[in-house]
Structure 1
Amino acid sequence: MPIVRSPSNTSATLFGSLSMIDDPLTEKPELSSKLIGRAQGIYGSAGQEDTALFMAMNFVFLEGKYNDSTISILGRNHVYSKKREMPVIGGSGLFRFARGYAQANTFSFNTKTGDAVVEYNVYVSHY
């Protein structure tokens, strides 16, 4: 049985820490760009040796024909890799039965505040 440890102030990777998110989804990387939805979910630091997150996240769309539809992503995010790939495991509304993958690319990261702008390219098959 694996040992699960709580977050430690001495862990360089913040292993065990959990965060909830409710972040804006915008058309472009600038916060002033048009809001098209929200990224809502949870992520935890799952890597003891490297900075890797376990992510459970929904992209909730608030605009146009995708309004009230969601895309669900669940997987490992190796934070310092240039491109990261995570599986799309489902969706709702126009993305019902969605399957595919999301590629994440960090656009900018502020080491002082921990704020990041991440670009997601999502490829899905759905009904």
Structure 2
Amino acid sequence: MKGTLVLTWFLMVCLSKVTVQSQYYSQSLPYDTKAVKVTHLHFFLHETLGGKNPTAVEVAQANISSLPFGTLYAIDDILKIGPEDKTEVIGNAQGLALMVGGNTTTGVMYVDFGFTTGKFNGSSISLFSRNPITETEREVAVVGGRGKFRMAKGFALLKTYFLNATTVIVDFNVTVIHY
């Protein structure tokens, strides 16, 4: 019994002297600046707000007022090369848009723009930004990507091309910085 107590005391003293060397990061290494790419994209987002096949639907609304404030939309919009219905589909934009701002119609959007054809097939860019949708021209942030746009950052200039009660077409000019 005395030997067990001595051994326990000895182990406790030894363990108290051990320093813990855990880190939540590894050594920072510089990127090869020659590997940085800048890609410019131009496409049109086509959104349908009603009818048989809507691409944006309301999934929740705050019950405190009749304003759109607090309304959440799920979107699965179509990306095309041009603004016309018959132009080539190059992908889709899937995500969420939350209406914020009491007196103005501003959305906060998180949307993944996935490309399904061409050079960027299987790649996407992610936008997460405030989007003042009542302004004809606006800028939103590119915060990430996957595939050929891995570790993307940049910005998108948006311009409303067409708008009515059931259809929205937005012109996207995107500058993507990626590796």
Shorter-chain TM-score above 0.5: yes
Deviation at 1:59, TM superposition (A): 0.6
Structure 2 distance, partners of 1:36, 1:77, is: 23
Q: RMSD over aligned Cα, in angstroms?
A: 1.4
Q: Which has the higher contact order (CA 8 A, sep 6+)?
A: 2
What does 1:14-33 align with in structure 2 at a 5 Å threshold? 14-33=68-87
Residue 172 of structure 2 corresponds to residue 120 of structure 1 = yes
Deviation at 1:10, TM superposition (A): 2.1
* Structure 1 unmatched ranges of 5 or more: none
1:90 to 137, 144, 148: 144
Aligned to 1:65, the other structure's residue is in SS state helix
Partner amino acid for 2:175? Y
> Which is helix-richer, 1 or 2?
2
Deviation at 1:48, TM superposition (A): 1.1
Residue 153 of structure 2 corresponds to residue 99 of structure 1 = yes
What does 1:20-99 align with in structure 2 at a 5 Å threshold? 20-99=74-153
Structure 2 distance, partners of 1:104, 1:117, is: 10
* Count of matched residue positions in the alignment of Structure 1 and Structure 2: 119
Deviation at 1:122, TM superposition (A): 0.6
2:66 alignment counterpart: 10
* Structure 2 unmatched ranges of 5 or more: 1-60
Alpha-carbon spacing, 1:71–1:7, altered in 2? closer, same or farther (3 Å): farther
TM-score normalized by structure 1? 0.88
Aligned to 2:135, the other structure's residue is in SS state coil
Q: Which of structures 1 and 2 has the bigger CA Rg?
A: 2
TM-score normalized by structure 2? 0.64
Alpha-carbon spacing, 1:81–1:67, altered in 2? closer, same or farther (3 Å): same
